[in-house]
Amino acid sequence: MNHKPPISSRNIVCCWGYVFEGPDFFVGKAVYILIAIYIGFSMFVIWKHVSIVARVLLCVIGFGVPSIFLTLTEFSDPGILPKAQFLPNDHPLLQVPQDYIEEGLNEEEARNVIGNRFCKYCNIYQPVGTFHCKECDSCIMGFDHYCEVVGNAVGLRNHGYFVWFILSSAASAFMFVITAVIILIIAAVNEESFGQFAKNNLLLFVLIGLLALVGLFCLIFGGNHLELVCKNDTTVRVIFNTRQTNRTGKCHNFYEGMIKRHQTFASSRYPPVEIKINGVEKPLTISVNKFCCTHLDTIEQERAKLIKNGQ
């Protein structure tokens, strides 16, 4: 069977493998502008009603925390797997389907349940839970979805950051809502004419309504992803498991437990990938600590040089 040759990834690796830039560079940056506009509008509405300390706290927490988790999501490695190279050390490992006999699956079942499929674009057998991202043009471990908002794929290594970005955005919205409600309560108690105050501060009601909707959406969306994280599941897995169950009556259980799942969220440099052959893990010969500001295809070329030189 003829498969397409390995295709270079669209992601860019910078800073010795610590920074991964997604294919949509400008889309992710536009989100910072939107967050700044949202914070600016909120502060404009409540500025004259709060103290200087409250202003600083609202700006730092409302803008700073979501921006930090947005940055971590956008510039973290989502879990990209290397494409197969025709090298004696790597290629045989990548061409062997994973052995999940210990999970109660034979080889034929393993290939037809969410993992262990052959990716014709990367020329590798995908470990369980791995899917090919068309936008990144790479197979990604624990792939959940490609997020246009952050301009990067959401996978095993940055799913936790994505969840905290959504939840911190919800917390930021509700923080401004609570502040606006407190302002209205104080006005209702102290002002002789609350109706006149409400008329003069109509934007407070607009702010409460808009941010309540935004916060509620983020809370529901983030809660759904938090549940997936705790179950060691992803959006794509849920969809494929549903289809698999409807078609065969069987589905694979990916649950590892919350503690182990949490440990996998520690984002680090381009990971050494371990492939199982007959139940024995064999690491691939990957070393990218020396490389900076280069595309993944260049990394693969450098890997070939390292292997050739016996490093």
* In the chain, where the domains are located: 12-308
Report whether 270 contacts 17 (CB < 8 A): yes
Give the number of other CB atoms < 10 A from CB of residue 286.
17
136 and 13 in contact (C-beta within 8 Å)?
Answer: no
Is pLDDT of 94 > 90? no
State the SS3 of 139-195.
EECCCCEEECCCCEEECCCCHHHHHHHHHHHHHHHHHHHHHHHHHHHHHHHHCCCHH
Whether residue 150 is predicted with pLDDT greater than 50 in this model: the reply is yes
Name residue, tokens 């959406």.
217
Per residue in 59-91, pLDDT (tens digit) is 888 888 888 999 888 888 888 877 765 344 544
Q: Which residue has the higher pLDDT, 3 or 128?
A: 128
| 248 confidence band (pLDDT: 50, 70, 90) | low
**Residue linked to tokens 């938090």:** 226
Distance CA 283, CA 96 (A): 13
List, for residues 255-275, the tens digit of each pLDDT value: 444 444 444 444 334 444 444
Report whether pLDDT(99) > 60.
no
Task: Report whether 295 contacts 12 (CB < 8 A).
Answer: yes
Q: Calculate the average pLDDT of the chain.
A: 69
